[in-house]
Structure 1
Amino acid sequence: MQPPRGFLASLLNFICFLPYFIGLLILGFIKGIILCPLVCLIVPVGNSAVILGLWLVHLFYTYYCIWSTKQLGPVLKLVLCPVVLVLLIYWPVIGILGSVLGGAAYGFFSPMLATFKAVGGGKTDQFFHCIYDGTCDTVKGSFTVVRDFRDVCYYSYFSIMDDLRLQGPSAGKYYEIRLLYLPGALIAGVLGVMVDLCIISIIAICKSPYMLFKGWHRLFHDCIGREGPFLETICVPFAGLAILLWPLAVAGAVLGSMVSSIFLGAYAAVVVYQESSFWLGLCYIAASLSIYDEYSNDILDMPEGSCFPRPQYRQKTSSVISSRAASFSRPQSFKNPPSHSSSFSAHMVELKSLELVDALLKECQRQGEIMVSEGIITLKDIEDAKSNKDSGKMISIGLPAYCILQALLRSAKANSAGILLKDNVTEITSTNRPKDAFFDWFLNPLLIIKEQIKAEKLSEAEELYLGKLVLLSGDPEKLKNSDIGAPPESELRRAELDALARRLQGITRSISRYPTFRRRFDSSMKTIFEELASKNGESNIPAGPQTVPRSRSMFARMFSQKSFNTRTSNHGSDQEAQPVVERDVEII
């Protein structure tokens, strides 16, 4: 859609758009006012019940894991005990207050945004969707928020603490704290918080009027000329809403600067402890003011530099520190911003994080159905996974890790620069990946593992061995009782495959701790459970060829009953599998 050209056309377009936008805003505001009290009742009550119900369990289990772990030294454990107690005491207050504020924001803004989205979503009956959208979905979403919060407090928390308790010290040395420099670090941290909170708050308040009028100037200019966020029709309601809510954004930026100044100043304690120098901690306090001033100037497109001094607070100036310091100077993107038209001209596949997670879970469901048909997944495995037992990790951890491994193997064989998804059509790389911290933490390690697999040049037998190792490593008993095939003859090769399997298991375990994952995984596993229940209930299975997924023959080689129980020594002369009728299945 091309923006109107000329002052009269732009003014006429703005006059016609304004009543339309105000009507939608009033409708969304009314829906938000009606639903906000209900959501404020559901989310805080549900989250408060979870917090208070698990508080004693969190208290005792946290101290049990801290004293049981071998990663921490005795002095560090003594220091952590009072700190953890303070955090646990304030956790119910912070959690309940955050639930009230988050529930109010969600209950008010979700219906409003759904009202605007109903207009630009290409729906047939837009009048009905303007009224209905954001009502039932918001109420259901509030229950989903409580469910995800419960999963984080119950499953994710205990998974993290189990890793702390069971894992040994890295490189054979546990973490310890030096008590000699602890008082100086605490004093520097308190001074840093006091100085930075005071001065950074003054700087943020002084720059807030400039941010307010500069943002309004840009938004009104784009609104009249239909440029920037107003270029696309679906973005117009949200951009118009941004004009009204821009003062709140400025106030939030000032509040965020005040909160961030606490952590920025407290980092002086880390500098004193790392550099073993109280003077360098004071130098950092002065330099932190300059760092914030220069960074805020870059964000607001103000002149470079700062009136505050920036002394050196590190004894050893490495190239990494110099590059990080240079990153606060104004980048070229601020000096020469891209044009508005070019941002929409280049076609680029945009990947969304939730879509990728759903794709992984669909692949887990597909592979799980195959394993059910092969008898690999049993009813006991699913029940153990539901009850969060260690024997159920073959499904909750091993199955997603196995699906990720298959994607990495396909990508390595195709010599892809990223990770191939959806039957070698869609590729996720460092350029088109979702701009979420989730993918910053996990995409690069997976790309490294893919390059390692490519460099190893695994044979088919090694791929099968690695796949079964990844799948069954979460269930030590089944791994011990199962013949997973002949391992490589070289001990170095076996150690490399074991390390790859452990890394994939660890990455998958970390992914499973994030909100919404367990809920989505349980939903995808319901289909497997239903298929397994129907399979156990069938008395007569019709003979003849059956319709099975494309990779059935691979699973027949990997997980046949012979593979587990009576594998012969001459596994090089396997019998040919029975012919099956294949159907096309979308592979992720």
Structure 2
Amino acid sequence: MEPPRGFLSSLWNFICFLPFFVGLLLLGAIKGIILCPLICLLMAAGISGIILGLWPMHWFWTYYSILSAKQLGPVLKFVLCFGALPVPLILWPVVGVVASIIGGAAYGFFSPILATFDAVGELKTNKLFHCFYDGTWDTVKGCCTVIRDFADFCYHSYRSFMLDLRTKTPPNGEHYEIRLLYLPGALIAGVLGIVVDVFIISFIAICKSPIMLFKGWHRLFHDLIGREGPFLETICVPFAGLIILLWPLAVVGSVLGSIASSIFLGAYAGIVAYQESSFLLGLRYIVASLSIYDEYSNDVLDMQEGSCFPRLTYRRGDGQSSTAGLHSSNSISRPSSFHGQPSRMNSLKEPMIDLKPLELLDSLFKECQRHGEAMVCEGTITSSDIEDAKSSKGNKVISIGLPAFCILETLLRSAKANSVGLLLGDNITEVSSTNRPKDTFFDWFFNPLIIIKDQIRAENLSESEEEYLYKLVLLSGDPERLKNLTTVTPPQSERRQAEIEALARRLRGITKSISRYPTFRRRFDCLVKRLSEELSKKKGSCQSSNGSRSLSRSRSAFGRLFSQKSSSNGKTSYRGGEREEFQADERDLEIS
């Protein structure tokens, strides 16, 4: 929809829309007031029960993992167990319970309001019904989903973190150890940093909050009258109007966030003093941290550049680079495009795909289900794998190997297509730096995957090397099966073999980190349930499925190489009639 032209038409459009907006806001607020106590009670009870129920296990498992960690030295273990760990472990239930109450109240109140505004979207039908219904039962289900994901994170993801801590070997054979001589100076520097930064940064944030309030309102009202920025598209108008009403809360939140961040910003002075073995450099960092915050806040508020605090050097050997950074601050702290007002956007000629992390995770599990059903039919995934995945000990072939297998397929597809990003399974959607989710959490996985894709492209793998990489990615969690599988041979060159094995290790490591994502476990349980149903449906038969025929030629060949099982004497053999069927499949692929 093209925005109206002219001040009078824009003002008239705003006046006509204002009662509609207020009505939706009141309806959403009424639903929020009704649901807020229920959602707050559910979330507080659920999350508090999980925290208190797992608290003894967290105590025992944390101490056991630290005492068993191979990369930590004895002195560091003693300091952690008797000095650092008791405080967060004691505060964890208190902070968790309070946060669950506040989060439940906020979610129960604001979720119905946002759902009410979303119900009048341009693509929605029967808008009157959805105005009253949306945000009611969906909010209750969303609350239960949050509790389930929180439980999975506190149990499964926590155990995964602790397992890594226990089993990871020290780098270069040297333990992480603490130097007791510099510990008192670091503690004093950290305490001074917290005291100074909390006081001064809080003062700066409170003094600049009126500027943020009025500048934000000025910009939002300017965009509202001119239908620019967040008010350009009609569907965004209710949410942007809600931003105007809630902008004071955003300012208060930014001040509280600055105060909270000042604690960690100041405590980092102790780390600087310890790393540099100098109490003086820790004090210099305290002054530099004030300058860093002041300059950053000026850039955010579009105020005059610079700071009244000196930017002292607090790292050894960083004098020249720090000075150069100060001289070039005019060119990098605020680009020239930020000095003026953003230009008016033209109407979008093509729909912009805005990808969300959960949508990409759903896409990954759809691929896992498709390939998993084919592997169940081929015998690659066995009943023991599925039973282990259902149990508490888990199964790395399904939990890590199968998602890593699907991610590797995406990386190979993207590398062969010379894609700048990641080309998804439909060969149309591409996740790049322009449309990727803007969550910092997503960057932890996206950037390393792009690097691995570029490495795969540079390696220029042959078909046999791709099959070997697929094998390593899928079966590295089961060394016995990996050792017994002789149909896929490694490359002749030891260097080439080491490079491919390094790619497989990195990809499985990234997939293991993705498996700790709070919503991963819930989707994984659904995947295991579907694979179990597929296994019972097939009953060991080798009938071809749509999923297996949709695999690419390299993965079909890889599936044929995996379609073997151990006999009673430990040797591998093809199932009866399988070889002829695979030859027929290959002829069909060659014809197509």
* TM-score, length of structure 1 as denominator length: 0.92
Shift of 1:28: 0.3
Distance 2:377 2:161 in 1: 33
**Alpha-carbon distance change, 430 to 7 in structure 1, aligned in 2, over 3 angstroms:** closer
- Return the alpha-carbon distance in structure 1 between the equivalents of residues 162 and 357 of structure 2: 26
Distance in 2, Cα, partners of 1:583 & 1:98: 58
1:422-441, aligned counterparts within 5 Å?
422-441=425-444
1:96 & 1:188 partners in 2: Cα distance? 32
Q: Does 1:372 align with 2:373?
A: no
Summarize the Cα distance change of 1:117–1:452 in structure 2 as closer, same or farther, 3 Å threshold: same
1:83 aligns to what? 84
CA distance in 2, matches of 1:312, 1:285: 11
Match of 2:403 among 400, 404, 425: 400
Note the alpha carbon deviations across 1:107-158, whole angstroms, 9 max, x for none. Answer: 1000000000001152221110000001000000000000000010000000
* 1:559 equivalent in alignment to 2:562: yes
> Relative to structure 1, is the Cα distance of residues 5 and 72 closer, same or farther in structure 2, using a 3 angstrom cutoff?
same
2:583 to 575, 578, 585: 578
Relative to structure 1, is the Cα distance of residues 461 and 196 closer, same or farther in structure 2, using a 3 angstrom cutoff?
Answer: same
Which residue of 304, 325, 329 corresponds with 2:333?
329
- The percentage of counterpart residues that share the same residue type is 67
- Partner Cα distance (2:341, 2:480) in 1: 59
1:507 CA displacement: 0.7
Contact 2:47/2:150 (8 A) holds in 1: yes
SS at match of 2:584: coil
In 1, are the aligned partners of 2:410 and 2:425 still within 8 Å (CA)?
no
Aligned-partner Cα distance in 1 for 2:259–2:348: 36
Match of 1:420 in 2: 423
Q: Could you list the per-position Cα deviations for residues 213-249 of structure 1 after superposition, in whole angstroms to 9, with x for gaps in the alignment?
A: 1111222222222222111111111111111111111
Q: Which amino acid aligns with 1:578?
A: Q
The AA in structure 2 aligned to 1:194 is: V
- Does the 8 Å contact 2:404/2:511 carry over to 1? yes
1:383 corresponding residue in structure 2? 387
Alpha-carbon distance, 1:189 to partner: 0.9
Distance 1:372 1:280 in 2: 60
Range with greater deviation from structure 2 (512-521 or 333-342): 333-342
Measured after TM superposition, the shift of residue 505 of structure 1 is 1.1
Q: CA deviation at 1:567?
A: 7.3
Return 158-167 or 516-525, whichever deviates more: 516-525
Alignment of 1:296-311 (within 5 A): 296-311=297-312
SS in 2 for 1:468: helix
Cα separation, 2, equivalents of 1:582 and 1:256: 63
Q: Which residue of 2 aligns with 1:144?
A: 145
Change in Cα spacing, 1:127 to 1:60, as seen in structure 2 (3 Å) is same
The answer to whether residue 220 in structure 2 is matched with residue 219 in structure 1 is: yes
Could you tell which deviates more after superposition, 446-455 or 396-405? 446-455
Instruction: Provide the C-alpha distance between the structure 1 equivalents of 2:337 and 2:181, rounded to a whole number of angstroms.
Output: 46
The verdict on how the C-alpha distance between 1:16 and 1:251 changes in structure 2, with shifts beyond 3 A counting, is: same
Tell me the residue number matched to 1:571: none
Counterpart contact for 1:464–1:558, Cα < 8 Å: no
CA distance in 2, matches of 1:145, 1:322: 48
Q: Which moved more, 1:161-170 or 1:269-278?
A: 269-278
Distance of 2:324 and 2:537 partners within structure 1: 61
| 1:141-540 correspondence runs (5 A) | 141-317=142-318, 329-342=333-346, 344=348, 348-390=352-394, 392-483=395-486, 485-536=488-539
1:3, CA displacement in angstroms?
2.3
Compute the displacement of 1:318 (Å). Answer: 7.1
Corresponding residue for 1:20? 20
Residue identity matched to 1:210? I
**Shift in alpha-carbon separation, 1:69–1:530, aligned structure 2, 3 A:** same
For the 8 Å contact 1:472–1:479, the answer to whether it is kept is yes
In structure 2, relative to structure 1, the CA distance for the partners of 1:187 and 1:297 (3 Å cut) is: same
Tell which deviates more after alignment, 335-344 or 265-274.
Answer: 335-344
Once the two structures are overlaid, the 10-residue window that deviates more, 556-565 or 248-257, is 556-565
3-state SS of paired residue (2:85): helix
Equivalent-residue separation in structure 2 for 1:120 and 1:292 (angstroms)? 40
Q: Is the 8 A contact 1:116 1:238 kept in 2?
A: yes
The whole-number CA distance in structure 2 between the counterparts of 1:464 and 1:529 is 26
Partner Cα separation in structure 2 for residue 213 and residue 123 of structure 1: 35
Deviation at 1:456, TM superposition (A): 2.2
Change (3 A) 1:343 1:406: same
Of stretches 5-14 and 475-484 in structure 1, the one that deviates more from structure 2 is 475-484
Higher mean alpha-carbon deviation, 308-317 vs 293-302, is at 308-317
Partner letter of residue 211 of structure 1?
Answer: M
How far 1:546 sits from its partner (Å)?
6.3
The answer (yes or no) to whether the contact 2:378–2:542 under 8 Å persists in 1 is: no
Amino acid at match of 1:134: G
Range with greater deviation from structure 2 (136-145 or 207-216): 207-216
| Structure 1 residues 102-113: aligned runs within 5 Å | 102-113=103-114
- 2:132 — aligned with what? 131
SS at structure 1 position matched to 2:529: helix
Displacement of 1:184 in angstroms is 0.7
- Give CA-to-partner distance per residue, 1:30-70, whole Å, 9 cap, x none: 00011111111111111111111111111111111111111
Distance change in 2, residues 1:324/1:68 (3 Å): farther
Cα separation, 2, equivalents of 1:324 and 1:517: 42
Calculate the aligned-residue CA RMSD, in Å: 2.5
Deviations 1:76-127 (A, max 9, x none): 1111112112111110111111111111111100000000000115222111
| Contact 1:351 1:434 survives alignment (8 Å) | yes
> Against the structure 1 CA distance between its residues 352 and 542, is the aligned structure 2 distance closer, same or farther, given a 3 Å change threshold?
closer
Aligned to 2:491, what secondary structure does the other structure show? coil
CA drift at 1:533: 1.7
The size of the alignment, in residue pairs, is 574
* Structure 1: segments with no counterpart, 5+ residues: 569-573
Letter in structure 2 aligned against 1:494: Q
Q: Structure 2: where are the runs of 5+ without partners?
A: none
Residue pair 2:375, 2:559 contacting (<8 A) in 1 also: no
- Deviation string for 1:154-213 (max 9, x for gaps)? 000000110110110112222111111111111111111111111111111111111111
Letter in 2 for 1:444: N
Query: Structure 1 176/121 Cα, relative in aligned 2: closer, same or farther at 3 Å?
Result: farther
Distance between the aligned counterparts of 1:168 and 1:315, measured in 2? 30
Give distance in 1, aligned partners of 2:159 and 2:483.
Answer: 25
**1:436-465 CA distances to partner (integer Å, 9 max, x unpaired)?**
123311122212222222222222222112
> Quick one: distance in 2 between partners of 1:413 and 1:55?
49
